[in-house]
Chain A
Amino acid sequence: MALPTYASPLERLWHLVYLVICGLVLLFLIAPILIVIPLSFNAEPYFTFTEKMLTFDPAGYSLRWYDTLLTHGMQAPDGPRNAAWWADAWNNSAWIRAAKNSLIIGISATIVATVLGTVAALGLASPAMPFRRLIMAVLISPMVVPIIITATGLFFFYSQVGLANSYAGVILAHATLGIPFVIITVTATLVGFDYSLTRAAASLGASPAVAFRRVTMPLILPGVIAGALFAFVTSFDEVVVVLFIAAHDQQTIPRQMWNGIREQISPAILAVATILVIVSIALLTTLELLRRRSERLRGLTPS
């Protein structure tokens, strides 16, 4: 924001103060996330910068905490690093097992949430939809109802119907939590959707299924993928439901982090945190690219 030429000295001073305040707030937002990255390479088991780190002495940095991510839980962590060692890590390392669980649960929950959510969003976007407001409120509510309440409810319900301590239970719960995000992003995409395109397809002889597959779907795809990413991140970051309804077999990365933070907090947690920050940077980039693609497809000029 440029200051007008007629600004008084006091206004100029205030403008400077305002920019400094904004800078500090942005620093407050980003600093905690960036600070974990160097700390995770600490050679010492401390949560702060050692003198060696501050003088950029290579001895102050190490990959030991990343190594513990592999070796924690292994049967023979000290053996020579041959094929057998890697097989041991793949099968027994607690963090690798957690990562596998997170991916299985996250991807399955994302598929369920995205398919059901997209189909429902198509219905919700139709002007003929009855009780639209009420149904929308119900479908979005998993996002606003405190997670502890959802987890408590699911704990009782699952122990009755036999879904407790199972992958299916966690997947269904995570799908429920991801659905609001899919609904919100896909309905937002459909707001700008030109329905005369599907009518044109129909007039050219396309069946509704073909028109959906070849006309509607490519146009709303950016919104669908964005919703799917949100649903995946929701599942990938979820810990309370897992705490309440999952057994030891279904430990996910956040669940394993929760253990780590509660029991003995070591820089190994920061190593995981760093990896997750890199994952979120990748997701954010994907989302930004999708947004640009969506704008291009819809003929909006990027400003």
Chain B
Amino acid sequence: MTLDNAATAAAVPTGGRPLKAAVTRAQGGARRRAFLLVLPLLAFVFFSFVVPIGQMLHRSIHNPAFADNMPMISAWFRDHPTGTVPDESAYAALVADITAAAEARTIGVVGTRVNYELSGTRSLFTSAGRRAARLEPPYAESLPALDDAWASPELWSAMRNVSTAYTADFYLAAVDLTRATDGSIVSVPADRKIYVDIFQRTLLLSALITGLCLLLGFPVAHLLATLPMRYSNLLMILVLLPFWTSLLVRTTAWIAILQGQGVINSTLVALGIISDSERLSLVYNQTGTIVAMTHILLPFMVLPLYSVMRTINPAYVRAARSLGASSWTAFRRIYLPQTLPGIGAGSLLVFILAVGYYITPALVGGASGQLISNLIAFHMQNSLNWSLAAALAAILLGVVLLLYWLYDRLVGIDNMKLG
């Protein structure tokens, strides 16, 4: 204890309580009050946001569809190591499970689960479900008599993979890997590789869009920051109006402008630059996604750049010029380094938003302009492989949270500005 502290601790004001204790008490009260103010919102966000996302992440590693409905064969897989050739006891357990599942009407769920591992197997289970009750032992012969596939090692390997409720297989599938019959991890056949490509495309397009936003946003932010306030406030409206306009409105506008019968093509045809038969396809492909997303995300680049550039003292550049620097050197060595915080903040923000974009690619992206979010939506709504959707979402979330952490470290969430 230092002398100061000792003096404080010893000081006893008229109330009779040592000053140090009184200060600690008062600070504790302030801490509690501040925390109590935040608590309702924290609880709200916890239940309406953190818990749902946590549950979704759990779903990406947990799928009990097979294990719950096929308990006996799942137990057999637990007791026998990978590579064991299925014997009569395995077939008997399988037939008993199929019979029970058919009665409980869960055989479709089971078939769907195995189908995710090995496509084309769903009907195998449903048709076996209709006839399993009439099968006679030895099942090792009577079940394959229904369909040869019941004896195939691929099917047994697939069933072994899905027999545990907790599995990392959806993450393997999400990066185009699968398990071979001997349990080793191999890459899927080339014609079924899609996810890694889409992840790469998402990152590449996001980087491209971020670059375009920086390229277009930098001069505008510079102009706004250096003009006198009364002009820059007017021009700022041109940046803020798109920012405040509905995303769907902006996407619709781009469809109207870019489509085959749209404004650009019609103008070009009317001017005779292209003929009616060679109208450019500018939308429902990657071009559409890039143009529309650059337009939508540009304000998120301009605003942080502007707020940093506003604070840069113009005297520095003038000083550099007076010391003999050319205007290019003065810009490169003096001005540009000072804008780096703005460039970092804007680029990170645009990249974070672009990586998770869904609406615009879905509406104007066609087939080649789809991003990872669209694939997640596809598995949620069309293929109904929810665990795979959750695994893809978890990977995307990981990327976004990493970038978010970086943003917090470099820029600070407190410094995020809107409008």
The residue in chain A whose Cβ has the minimal distance to the Cβ of B256 is A47
Name the distance in Å between A121's Cβ and chain B's nearest Cβ.
Answer: 9
Q: Is the CB of A29 within 8 A of B295?
A: yes
Q: Is the CB of A139 within 8 A of B246?
A: no
Q: Is the CB of A22 within 8 A of B220?
A: yes
Q: Is the CB of B38 within 8 A of A135?
A: yes
Q: Is the CB of B256 within 8 A of A120?
A: no
- Residue B376 CB within 8 A of the other chain: yes
Which of B25-33, B84-92, B114-122, B169-177 contacts its partner? B25-33
Report Cα–Cα, A159/B309, bound state, in Å: 48
B-contact bits for A154-194, CB 8 A (1 contact / 0 none):
11111010000000000011011001010011011000000
The binding surface of chain B is classed by DSSP as helix
- Residue B113 CB within 8 A of the other chain: no
Q: Is the CB of B33 within 8 A of A179?
A: no
- Residue B59 CB within 8 A of the other chain: yes
Contact of B253 among A11, A33, A303 (CB under 8 A): A33
Contact of A254 among B219, B227, B246, B413 (CB under 8 A): B246
- Residue A69 CB within 8 A of the other chain: no
Q: What residues on A are CB-neighbors of B396 within 8 Å?
A: 146, 149
Q: Is the CB of B219 within 8 A of A276?
A: no
Given A120-B40, A137-B413, A146-B396: A30 in contact with B238 (beta carbons within 8 A): yes
Q: Is the CB of A258 within 8 A of B248?
A: yes
Q: What residues on B are CB-neighbors of A287 within 8 Å?
A: 244, 419
Q: What residues on A are CB-neighbors of B35 within 8 Å?
A: 123, 129-130
Q: What residues on A are CB-neighbors of B40 within 8 Å?
A: 116, 119-120
Name the distance in Å between B43's Cβ and chain A's nearest Cβ.
Answer: 9
Q: Is the CB of B41 within 8 A of A130?
A: no
- Residue B95 CB within 8 A of the other chain: no
Name the distance in Å between B321's Cβ and chain A's nearest Cβ.
Answer: 8
Name the distance in Å between B165's Cβ and chain A's nearest Cβ.
Answer: 16
Report Cα–Cα, A138/B54, bound state, in Å: 13
Which of B44-52, B75-83, B139-147 contacts its partner? B44-52
Q: Is the CB of B33 within 8 A of A126?
A: yes
The residue in chain A whose Cβ has the minimal distance to the Cβ of B299 is A29
Report Cα–Cα, A36/B256, bound state, in Å: 8
A residues 113-163 with Cβ under 8 Å of B? 116-117, 119-120, 122-124, 126, 128-130, 133, 135-142, 144-150, 152-158, 160
Name the distance in Å between B262's Cβ and chain A's nearest Cβ.
Answer: 5
Q: Is the CB of A240 within 8 A of B359?
A: yes
Q: Is the CB of B241 within 8 A of A30?
A: yes
Report Cα–Cα, A120/B46, bound state, in Å: 14
The residue in chain B whose Cβ has the minimal distance to the Cβ of A36 is B253
The binding surface of chain A is classed by DSSP as helix
Q: Is the CB of B249 within 8 A of A124?
A: no
Q: Is the CB of B404 within 8 A of A141?
A: yes
- Residue A289 CB within 8 A of the other chain: no
A residues 4-20 with Cβ under 8 Å of B? 4, 7, 11, 14, 18-19
Name the distance in Å between B273's Cβ and chain A's nearest Cβ.
Answer: 15
Q: Is the CB of B56 within 8 A of A153?
A: yes
Q: Is the CB of A116 within 8 A of B41?
A: yes
A-contact bits for B318-344, CB 8 A (1 contact / 0 none):
100100000100000000000000000
Q: Is the CB of B45 within 8 A of A148?
A: no
Report Cα–Cα, A63/B56, bound state, in Å: 47
Give A contacts to B, CB under 8 Å. Answer: 1, 4, 7, 11, 14, 18-19, 21-22, 25-26, 28-30, 32-33, 35-36, 39, 46-49, 116-117, 119-120, 122-124, 126, 128-130, 133, 135-142, 144-150, 152-158, 160, 172-173, 175-176, 179, 181, 184-185, 187-188, 226, 230, 233, 236-237, 239-240, 244, 254, 257-258, 261-262, 265, 269-270, 272-273, 276-277, 280-281, 283-284, 287, 303
Give B contacts to A, CB under 8 Å. Answer: 27, 30-31, 33-38, 40-42, 44-45, 48-56, 59, 216-217, 219-220, 223, 226-227, 229, 235, 237-242, 244-257, 259, 261-263, 265-266, 295, 298-299, 318, 321, 327, 352-353, 355-359, 363, 373, 376-377, 380, 386, 389-390, 393, 396-397, 400-401, 404, 407-408, 413-414, 416-419
24 A–B contacts from the bound complex (CB under 8 Å): A7-B327, A14-B327, A29-B242, A29-B295, A29-B298, A30-B238, A120-B42, A123-B37, A126-B34, A128-B27, A128-B31, A136-B414, A146-B356, A149-B53, A152-B380, A153-B49, A156-B55, A179-B45, A239-B248, A239-B359, A254-B246, A254-B247, A276-B246, A276-B249
